[in-house]
A and B are shown apart, each in its own frame.
Chain A
Amino acid sequence: MSIKLKALLKSPWVFHLSTGSCNNCDIEILDCLTPRFDIERFGMLLVGSIKHADVLLITGSGNRKSMERAKRLYEQIPKPCLVVAVGECALSRGMFIHSYNCPLPIDKVIPVDVYIPGCPPKPEAIIAGVVKLIEKVKKGTAKK
């Protein structure tokens, strides 16, 4: 494992991007930061700028206009980076699969490392997904 990835795992800073979600996944993500679940003990922190982030966390069904912005953000994030898709919409667009505005799932546009299913996923599921992501990086099988 390179020194960059080792430093990344010590404190993965997260940038949260909503590509047209209904806000339920976003609420659950904020729940993870509350004292009850407290993912800050793993060094995770929500940051306000993509240029400070190590992890891009995407929710929502990815509509035509927001995926342009998501692509631009992915180009700006410092590499190596990790991408996490949270919620059914980010995985396969959920109930919006036939919508005129959601032509492609997110992982056809941006390489995704971990998929966390659920509508919305519980904070426990999000933490379990993040633990799997960390294991994946340690094994060296993440897409980076």
Chain B
Amino acid sequence: MTPKEVLGDLRKKFKDDIVEILGERSKKVYIEIRPDSIVQVASYIFKDLKARFNTASGVDLRYHMEILYHFLIEDINLLISLRVKLQKPKLEIDSLVPVFEGANWIEREMHEILGINFKGHPDLKRLLLPDDWPEGVYPLRRDYKEWDKNAIRDRGV
């Protein structure tokens, strides 16, 4: 299969789920899909196209949150990034852990840092933040405010 065939196949199979495909002629393709069809599309790419799940990344873009799931099909050297836009304030998406275990920790990290709720995750607890971090404070959100009264933010000169 060539990258062109893979993308044509995806477009035919998931007509209603794909919003748009960007960068079709390069080795790095961005496919924007609707949030509720992430499990279908991701499991097709992972299981049927034999792609490797690299990682996922989340970012707060003021009006919506964006998650990118990066998959690499090594035989044809094609990097597929599934882009999902979550409208605020309803930050919920289906977890991919039932499909592949590799999504477990990165979903926990996105949950603690951005406050995205992954439905169906087996154990959605904190990954890296310290234990005394307050509940409901998400450090990489745009509206994050300093909560620690003891913090010193000047260099003392």
Q: How far is the CA of A100 from the CA of B146 in the complex (A)?
A: 7
Q: Does B144 contact A98, Cβ atoms closer than 8 Å?
A: no
Q: A64-B130, A65-B130, A100-B144 are in contact. Are A105 and B152 (CB under 8 A)?
A: yes
Tell me which residues across on chain A come within 8 A of B25, comparing CB atoms: none
Q: Does B155 contact A (CB under 8 A)?
A: yes
A104 to B153, CA, bound (A): 8
Q: A92 on the interface (CB 8 Å rule)?
A: yes
Q: Does A111 contact B (CB under 8 A)?
A: no
Bound-complex Cα distance A105 to B148 (A): 14
Distance in Å: Cβ of B138 to nearest Cβ of chain A: 10
B155:A103 contact, CB within 8 angstroms: no
| B139, A100: Cβ atoms closer than 8 Å | yes
User: Bound complex: CA of A97 vs CA of B155, how far in Å?
Assistant: 8
Mask: chain B, 23-61; 1 = CB below 8 Å from A; 0 = not: 000000000000000000000000000000000000000
**A2-38 interface (Cβ within 8 A of B):** none
Tell me if B150 is interfacial: C-beta within 8 Å of chain A: yes
Interface residues of B in 132-157 (CB under 8 A from A): 132-133, 139, 144, 146, 148, 150-156
Among candidates A100, A101, A104, residue contacting B152 with C-beta atoms closer than 8 Å: A104
Tell me whether chain A's interface is mostly helix, strand or loop, or mixed. Answer: loop
| Count, chain A residues at interface, CB 8 A | 12
Contact count band on B: 10 to 19
- Contacts of B130 on A, CB cut-off 8 Å? 64-65, 68
Please determine whether A103 and B139 come into contact, CB atoms closer than 8 angstroms. Answer: no
Please determine whether B150 and A104 come into contact, CB atoms closer than 8 angstroms: yes
A62-103 interface bits toward B, Cβ cutoff 8 Å, 1 = contact, 0 = none: 001100100000000000000000000000100001101101
A108 to B15, CA, bound (A): 59
Which residues of chain A come closer than 8 Å to B151, judged between CB atoms?
A: 103-104
Minimum CB–CB distance from B84 to chain A (whole Å) comes to: 25
**Which residue on B lies nearest to A67, using beta carbons?**
B130
Once bound together, how far apart are the Cα atoms of A121 and B20, in whole Å?
Answer: 49
List the B residue with the shortest CB-CB distance to A68: B130
Inter-subunit contact A101/B150 (CB<8 Å): no
Docked pose: A103 CA to B147 CA in angstroms: 10
Q: How far is the CA of A116 from the CA of B58 in the complex (A)?
A: 37
**A–B Cβ pairs within 8 angstroms, 24 of them:** A64-B130, A64-B132, A64-B133, A65-B130, A68-B130, A92-B155, A92-B156, A97-B153, A97-B154, A97-B155, A98-B153, A100-B139, A100-B144, A100-B146, A101-B139, A103-B148, A103-B150, A103-B151, A103-B152, A104-B150, A104-B151, A104-B152, A105-B152, A108-B152
Give B contacts to A, CB under 8 Å.
Answer: 130, 132-133, 139, 144, 146, 148, 150-156
Closest 6 CB pairs of A and B: A103-B151, A100-B139, A64-B130, A92-B155, A65-B130, A103-B148
